[in-house]
């Protein structure tokens, strides 16, 4: 339980610690993890635009179902203020994929445990801490069994094997992330990032999706994406939402095909935007698609003002009928 002991010691030694960052949480993931998704909630929360959005949306907030809101209230968790970072990892395993979610922030393990027990969870001793096994749903089955381990600064949740292994694991660099950073393909200080070694199953799914949808331009992108072996994506928010994606193909020729397919899809989107959303034409025109050996890059930015305008147009209008 060395990993769990480290987390407990850090929580006790730093009652007013700095915000947890995703890169630190990722050290608890299994070393053979294939996909990592991360969100730096603390950095987003400090963004003036996000602060304004939160103030505007807090009162009419309706995105959380009533039962989830009740659980958060009982657990003493304010997702906006208490959560600093989220990391989700997927790792291969015999029989089924292992999933581990890590949430960094400030939590009350006793309140979280009581809220879980009140909803039918079972307490499971895990070293010096207590984990909780939620009740199985009728359609869930043993293969979907999960475990939740709440600590003062971290919540671990996922398949039982993944959570138990993380509790035993000493935080350490993850080869997948170390290689991506060393190659300059991802910035782990971005507000959102994804790093993936693409397994065979999603490659086959891309082929099936292309056949099912039959959309020519997107179908070409999906067909070309079957050759992708590694991919990264990141997003950072300031006065615009800056997006960057990289995909490494198996050969230089397939990388060229992927680049051409992406350019074709962007051209088709611009053509459609001229009639439906003219303000998007310049945004799409400024997207840069590059090629470096077997690596295809896509870089673009969407102004915050444009996002807000579209979000406002999508909001339901109040009913003014008498």
Phi, psi of 23 (to 5 degrees): -60, -35
Q: For 87-96, 117-126, 207-216, which range has the lowest pLDDT when averaged over its residues?
A: 207-216
Find the mean pLDDT for residues 126-134.
92
Q: Where are the domains of the chain?
A: 2-168, 198-314
HSE-up (13 A, CA, CB side) for residue 14? 14
β-pair type (288-292, 35-40) = unpaired
Residues β-bridged to residue 197: 230
User: Which percentage of the chain shows pLDDT scores above 90?
Assistant: 60
Residues β-bridged to residue 234: 193, 244
Query: Residues 222-238: pLDDT tens digits?
Result: 566 688 999 999 999 99
Kindly state the greatest CA–CA separation across the chain. Answer: 65
Task: Spell out the CATH class of 2-168.
Answer: alpha beta
Find the mean pLDDT for residues 94-115.
92
Q: Which of 261, 248, 246, 247 is nearest to 299 (CA)?
A: 246
- Quote the pLDDT of residue 6: 45
Cα separation of 260 and 225, whole Å? 12
Cα separation of 180 and 99, whole Å? 21
pLDDT-derived band at 27 (thresholds 50, 70, 90) equals very high
């Amino acid at each position: 339980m060395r990993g769990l002991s480290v987390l407990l010691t850090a929580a006790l030694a730093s009652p007013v610690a700095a915000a947890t960052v995703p890169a630190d949480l990722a050290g608890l993931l299994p070393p053979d993890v294939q996909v990592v998704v991360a969100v730096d909630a603390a950095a987003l929360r400090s963004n003036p635009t996000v602060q304004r959005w939160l103030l505007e949306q807090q009162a009419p907030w309706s995105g959380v179902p009533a039962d989830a809101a009740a659980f958060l209230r009982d657990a003493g968790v304010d997702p906006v203020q208490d959560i600093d970072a989220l990391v989700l990892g997927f790792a291969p395993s015999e029989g089924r994929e292992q999933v581990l979610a890590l949430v960094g922030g400030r939590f009350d393990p006793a309140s979280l445990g009581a809220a879980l027990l009140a909803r039918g969870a079972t307490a499971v001793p895990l070293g010096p801490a207590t984990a909780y096994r939620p009740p199985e749903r009728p359609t869930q089955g043993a293969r979907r069994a999960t475990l939740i381990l709440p600590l003062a600064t971290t919540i671990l949740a996922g398949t039982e094997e993944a959570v138990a292994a993380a509790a035993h694991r000493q935080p350490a660099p993850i080869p997948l992330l170390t290689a991506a950073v060393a190659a300059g393909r991802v910035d782990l200080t971005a507000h959102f990032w994804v790093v993936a070694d693409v397994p065979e199953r999603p490659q086959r799914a891309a082929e099936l999706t292309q056949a099912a949808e039959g959309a020519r331009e997107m179908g070409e992108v999906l067909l070309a994406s079957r050759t992708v072996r590694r991919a990264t994506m990141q997003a950072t928010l300031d006065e615009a939402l800056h997006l960057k994606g990289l995909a490494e193909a198996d050969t230089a020729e397939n990388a060229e095909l992927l680049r051409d397919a992406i350019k074709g899809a962007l051209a088709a989107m611009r053509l459609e935007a001229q009639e439906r959303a003219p303000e998007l034409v310049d945004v799409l025109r400024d997207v840069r698609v590059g090629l470096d050996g077997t690596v295809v890059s896509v870089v673009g930015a969407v102004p915050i003002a444009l996002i807000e305008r579209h979000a406002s147009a999508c909001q339901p209008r109040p009913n003014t009928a008498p």
